[in-house]
Amino acid sequence: MNKILKLALFLLLLINSFSNELIGDWYGALNVSGTSLKINVHFQKKSTFIGTIDIVSQNAKGILLTDIHFNKGLVQFKMKGISGNPSFNGELKKGIIEGEYFQNSLKGSFVLKRGNPPKINRPQTPKAPFSYLQEECSFQGQKSLMFGTLTLPKEKGVYPVVILVSGSGPQDRDETIFMHKPFLVLADYLTKRGIAVFRYDDRGVGKSKGKFSEANTFDFAQDTKGALNYLQNRKDIDPLKIGIIGHSEGASIADILASDSNNKLAFIVRLAGIGVSGHKVLKFQRKQGFIEKKIDSKLYHKNEEIFDKAFELIKKGLDKKSIVIQLLPIVESYSKLSKQKIDGPNYAQVIYKALSSYWMRSFLELDASIYLSKIKIPVLIMNGTLDKQVDIEQNLPVIREALKGNKKVKIELLDGLNHLFQKAKTGEVSEYQTIEETFNKKALKILGDWIQKQVN
C-alpha cells in the first residue's frame, strides 16, 4: 500500500512539475503579415490554466486567454473576445515556446521566452515633476462626455492653445503607439514654449465615454468641435488664438473644421495628412505591404481585383450574401495563384467586414481636397519623405492644388522621417517600435517656431 501511495504522490508531483513549466510570465514576438508585434503572456494554474496576453506594440493589455492546454510540451491557447478566433499552437522546448498563430485566413508565427521583457527605452517621454500646470478636463463630444488633459504655463495669463487630434483607430490622449507617446512629447515641448495644449482620449478610449466603432471621421470632427467650444469659453484661453494639430486622420478632421469659418480657428497644422481619397490611400498602403513582404506582383494585382470588386459592390448597396457570392470566383483564383489553401467564403466575409464598417465606408469616399480648398486660415503642412503610409508623391500635388488659393500655407518636407516623424531607415511600420526617438527634434522646432509666429 505504501508503495502504491508513494507512486501516486510521485506521479502527482511529476504532473505538477510539468504544469509549473508553463506557469509564469513570458515575453516575445508575434509575427504576422510582415509585422513583428511585441507580446507578453502570463499563465496561472488554479483548477485549470488561466492567462492573459498583452499586445505591447498595440498598447493592448490584459486580454483574456481561453482554451489553454499544456500536454507533453505542447501549448495551445486562444484570445477571448477578438474577432477571427486568434489561436496559438506551440511547443515548449528548453525554456522557449515557439509555434504558429492563426486568425481567420491569416497565418503567422510566435516565439516566447520566460521572464520579464527587456525595458523599452523611450528617452523623449517627459517625466514628472513638470515645469507647467496639468489639468484634467471634461467636455461634451458629439454624443458623449469626453476627457482630456490641458497643459498650461504656471504663470497666470491668457494663452494661445492647440488641440491635438489623433490618427485613425482608437487612441488615448498621448496617441500611444509601440510605447511611444508622441502627443505627450508635443504637449511638453509646446507648453514649455508658452503655448497651452489640449489632448484628449478618443470616444470609448481611456476615460472618454461612447462607442468608437459607431463613429466615422465626421463624427470624430464633432467631438473635436466639442473640445474647441470648451476651450473657447475658458478665461485662461485666448479664443482668437486656437489652432489644431492633426496627425494622419486627425489632419482630415482639422481640414473639416477649418473649412468652416464659423469655427473661428486661428490656424491648423497637418502632420502626415492625406490629400487624395481614402480609397486611393488604402490602395497605396496595400501595395506598400506587398512590396515590404516581397510578394509576387501577380498576387498583388489579383488581391487588388478582390478589394476593388468588393468596394464597387458595397457602394452599390448590395447585401453581404450577394457580395460574398460575387467575390468567391476571384478569391478562388487568388488561392490557386498563391498556392495556398484559402477558405474562400471566410476570406470574402473578412474583406466585406473590413470594407463595410461605418468608419471605413466614410473614409473610402472622403475627399480631402474638397475641404482643403475652402480653408483660408494659415496652414502648416509637414510630411516625412520616408512616410510609407501617406505617400508624399501621391498626396502632396493634390494638397498643393487644393490650397493654391490660400497664400498662408507653408509646406515642410522632412528628409528621412516616417509617418510618426521619427528618423527612420526604411519608413516601414515594422520599424516604428525599434526606433527610440518618438518625435524628431528638428520637426518639433519647425512646428513650434511656426505656431509662435501665428500667435504672437
CATH number at residue 50: 2.40.128.120
Q: Could you tell me whether strands 379-384 and 409-414 are parallel, antiparallel, or unpaired per DSSP bridges?
A: parallel
Domain count, the chain: 3
Rg (CA), the chain: 25
Phi/psi of residue 402, nearest 5 degrees: -65, -30
Return d(Cα 455, Cα 192) in angstroms, integer. Answer: 15
- pLDDT at residue number 85: 86
Side chain identity at residue 98, one-letter code: E
188 and 64 in a single domain? The answer is no
- pLDDT at residue number 17: 44
Directed axis angle between helix 358-365 and helix 344-356, to 10°? 70
Q: Is 225 helix (H, G, I), strand (E, B) or coil?
A: helix
Q: Is 79 helix (H, G, I), strand (E, B) or coil?
A: strand
Q: Please, what is the end-to-end C-alpha distance for the chain in angstroms?
A: 92
75 and 211 in a single domain? The answer is no
- pLDDT at residue number 16: 46
Q: Is residue 351 part of a domain?
A: yes
264 and 371 in a single domain? The answer is yes
Query: What b/e string do you get for 167-206 counting C-beta neighbours within 10 Å, with b at 16 or more?
Result: bbebbbbbbbbbebbbbbbbbbbbbeebbbbbbbbbbbbb
Task: Note down the domain range covering 307.
Answer: 278-363
370 and 344 in a single domain? The answer is no
93 and 183 in a single domain? The answer is no
- pLDDT at residue number 248: 96
- Domain ends where: 310, 341, 363? 363
- Domain ends where: 114, 144, 175? 114
Q: Is residue 217 part of a domain?
A: yes
Distances (CA, A) of 324 to 253, 282, 337, 383: 33, 21, 19, 38
Q: Is residue 23 part of a domain?
A: yes
Q: Is residue 156 part of a domain?
A: yes
Q: Is residue 124 part of a domain?
A: no
- pLDDT at residue number 409: 98
- Is residue 216 within 8 A of residue 362, CB to CB? The reply is yes
- pLDDT at residue number 298: 80
Task: Dihedral sign for Cα 415, 198, 219, 351, please.
Answer: positive
344 and 370 in a single domain? The answer is no
54 is written with which cell numbers? 498583452
- pLDDT at residue number 361: 87
Q: Is residue 178 part of a domain?
A: yes
246 is written with which cell numbers? 492633426
Phi/psi of residue 67, nearest 5 degrees: 50, 45
Query: What b/e string do you get for 5-18 counting C-beta neighbours within 10 Å, with b at 16 or more?
Result: eeeeeeeeeeeeee
- pLDDT at residue number 323: 86
- Domain ends where: 114, 148, 180? 114
CATH number at residue 155: 3.40.50.1820
Residues 71-79: contacts with CB under 8 Å, at least 24 apart: 75/22, 75/99, 77/41, 77/49, 77/51, 79/53
102 is written with which cell numbers? 492563426
271 and 394 in a single domain? The answer is yes
CB atoms within 10 A of CB 71: 8
99 and 166 in a single domain? The answer is no
Q: Is residue 122 part of a domain?
A: no
- pLDDT at residue number 19: 52
427 and 395 in a single domain? The answer is yes
149 and 272 in a single domain? The answer is yes
pLDDT tens, residue order, the chain (456 aa): 444 444 444 344 434 444 578 989 999 999 887 678 889 999 998 878 999 999 887 778 899 999 999 988 999 999 998 877 899 999 999 889 999 999 877 788 999 999 888 888 999 999 999 999 999 999 999 999 999 999 999 999 999 999 999 999 999 999 999 889 999 999 999 999 999 999 999 999 999 999 998 999 999 999 999 999 999 999 999 999 999 999 999 999 999 999 999 999 999 999 999 999 888 888 888 887 777 667 777 878 888 888 888 888 888 888 888 888 888 888 888 778 777 777 778 888 888 888 888 898 889 889 999 999 999 999 999 999 999 999 999 999 999 999 999 999 999 999 999 999 999 999 988 899 899 999 999 999 999 999 999 999
385 and 266 in a single domain? The answer is yes
Q: Is residue 126 part of a domain?
A: no
67 and 24 in a single domain? The answer is yes
What is the reported pTM?
A: 0.83
